[in-house]
C-alpha cells in the first residue's frame, strides 16, 4: 500500500512540474480573488494584463526613455529628409538611392498577433509591412515602428505626436505632414469684402423672449455636446502604415545593375579586329550567299 502511495505522489509531482505554467495561470486568479475576499489584498490584483498590453507597455516604456537622454537616435536619416524640395528632387528618379537603401533595412518582428516584416518607404513617408494577417491594430503597428526607429537610428520617422512627449515631437511633422497655407490666396481672401444682399432673406416674426432664450440654451448644449464628440485636434499627426500583402510576397533580393564595359576612350587595332570577329559570328550567312561568295 505504501509503495502505491509513493508512486502515485511521484507521478502527480512530475505532472505538476511539467504543467507548472498552466497551473500558475489557472490558479493565480482564484488565489487573488480569495485574498481580496479575505481583505488581505487589493482588488487591482484581479486585473491580469493581456499579452498585447504587456507587449505595448514594454516597447512604449523603452521608446519614451530615449527622450530623456542626449542621444538623438537619428544618425541614419539623410539631410535631404529635412528639406522637402531636396527630397522631391531625389525621389524623381525611380531607381534612387534612398528607396533602395531603406528597403534593405528590414525588421522581422514577432507580435502577439503574428509575425511581420517592416521597412520605411521615403516616397510614401510611411512604414511598409508584410504580414499573413491582413488586419493588425494600429497600437501594435506603432510598437513595431518604435522598435524599427530605435534599431535603425531614425527616431524622427515616428511622427505620432500623441505618443511622443509634448515638447519633443518629430521635426519632420511641419516639413512633410502639415500643409503650409498659400500666402497669395490668403491675402486675396483677406482683401476681398463680402457684400450680402439682405433683401433675399426672409424676415421672421418675433416670438416670446422666454422661448427664444430656452431655444438658445438648448442649442448651445447640443453644440457643445457635438463638438466634444466630433471635434478633433488640428495638429494631430499619425504614422502611415502600408500593408503590401502576405510575407511570401516579400522580395528579399534586389535586381543587380548591369554595368557596361567602358575603356575610357582607349582604341587599338587589335580591339577593332576582335569586335569585327564578334560581329561576324553574330551575322547569319545563308547557303545562297555562301555559294555566290565561293563562285567569286
Whole-number pLDDT of residue 33: 73
Pair 84, 10 in one domain: no
DSSP secondary-structure letter at 110?
E
Closest among 228, 236, 234, 229 to 162, alpha carbons compared: 236
Are 108 and 244 contained in the same domain?
A: yes
So what's the pLDDT on residue 136?
A: 92
Q: Are residues 163 and 66 in the same domain?
A: yes
* Per-residue model confidence as pLDDT tens digits over 116-136: 999 999 999 999 999 998 889
Count structural domains, the chain: 2
Residue 127 lies in a domain: yes
Residue entry with cell 500593408: 243
* Assigned domain for 161 exists: yes
On whether both 245 and 110 belong to a single domain, the answer is yes
Q: What is the pLDDT of residue 49?
A: 75
18 and 89 in a common domain: no
The reported pLDDT for the residue numbered 210 is 53
Q: Rounded to 5 degrees, what angle do the CA atoms 128, 134, 135 make?
A: 95
Distance, CA of 22 to CA of 87 (rounded, Å)? 54
Q: What is the reported pLDDT for 122?
A: 95
Please give the residue range of the domain that contains residue 63. 52-181+240-249
- Confirm if 76 and 104 have CB atoms less than 8 A apart: no
Q: Which three cell numbers stand for residue 84?
A: 522637402
Radius of gyration of the chain (CA): 35
Residues of the chain with pLDDT under 70: 1-2, 24-26, 28, 39-48, 180-234, 254-287, 290, 294-296
- Same-domain pairing of 26 and 168: no
Amino acid at each position: 500500500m505504501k509503495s502505491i502511495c509513493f508512486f502515485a505522489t511521484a507521478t502527480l509531482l512530475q505532472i505538476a512540474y511539467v504543467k507548472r505554467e498552466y497551473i500558475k495561470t489557472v490558479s493565480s486568479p482564484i488565489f487573488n480573488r480569495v485574498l481580496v475576499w479575505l481583505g488581505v489584498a487589493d482588488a487591482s490584483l484581479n486585473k491580469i494584463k493581456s499579452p498585447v498590453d504587456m507587449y505595448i507597455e514594454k516597447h512604449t516604456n523603452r521608446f519614451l526613455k530615449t527622450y530623456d537622454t542626449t542621444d538623438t537616435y537619428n544618425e541614419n536619416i539623410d539631410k535631404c529628409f529635412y528639406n522637402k524640395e531636396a527630397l522631391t528632387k531625389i525621389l524623381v528618379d525611380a531607381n534612387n538611392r534612398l528607396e533602395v537603401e531603406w528597403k534593405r533595412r528590414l525588421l522581422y518582428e514577432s507580435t502577439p498577433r503574428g509575425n511581420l516584416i517592416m521597412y520605411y518607404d521615403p516616397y510614401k513617408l510611411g512604414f511598409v509591412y508584410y504580414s499573413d494577417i491582413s488586419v493588425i491594430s494600429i497600437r501594435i503597428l506603432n510598437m513595431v515602428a518604435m522598435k524599427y526607429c530605435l534599431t535603425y537610428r531614425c527616431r524622427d520617422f515616428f511622427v505620432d505626436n500623441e505618443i511622443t512627449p509634448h515638447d519633443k515631437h518629430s521635426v519632420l511633422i511641419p516639413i512633410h505632414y502639415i500643409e503650409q497655407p498659400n500666402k497669395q490666396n490668403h491675402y486675396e481672401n483677406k482683401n476681398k469684402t463680402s457684400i450680402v444682399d439682405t433683401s433675399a432673406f426672409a424676415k421672421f416674426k418675433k416670438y416670446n423672449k422666454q422661448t427664444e432664450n430656452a431655444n438658445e440654451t438648448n442649442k448651445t448644449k447640443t453644440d457643445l455636446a457635438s463638438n466634444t464628440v466630433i471635434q478633433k485636434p488640428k495638429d494631430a499627426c499619425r504614422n502611415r502604415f502600408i500593408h503590401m500583402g502576405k510575407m511570401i510576397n516579400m522580395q528579399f533580393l534586389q535586381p543587380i545593375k548591369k554595368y557596361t564595359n567602358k575603356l575610357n576612350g582607349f582604341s587599338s587595332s587589335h580591339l577593332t579586329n576582335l569586335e569585327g570577329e564578334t560581329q561576324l559570328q553574330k551575322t547569319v550567312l545563308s547557303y545562297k550567299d555562301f555559294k555566290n561568295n565561293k563562285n567569286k
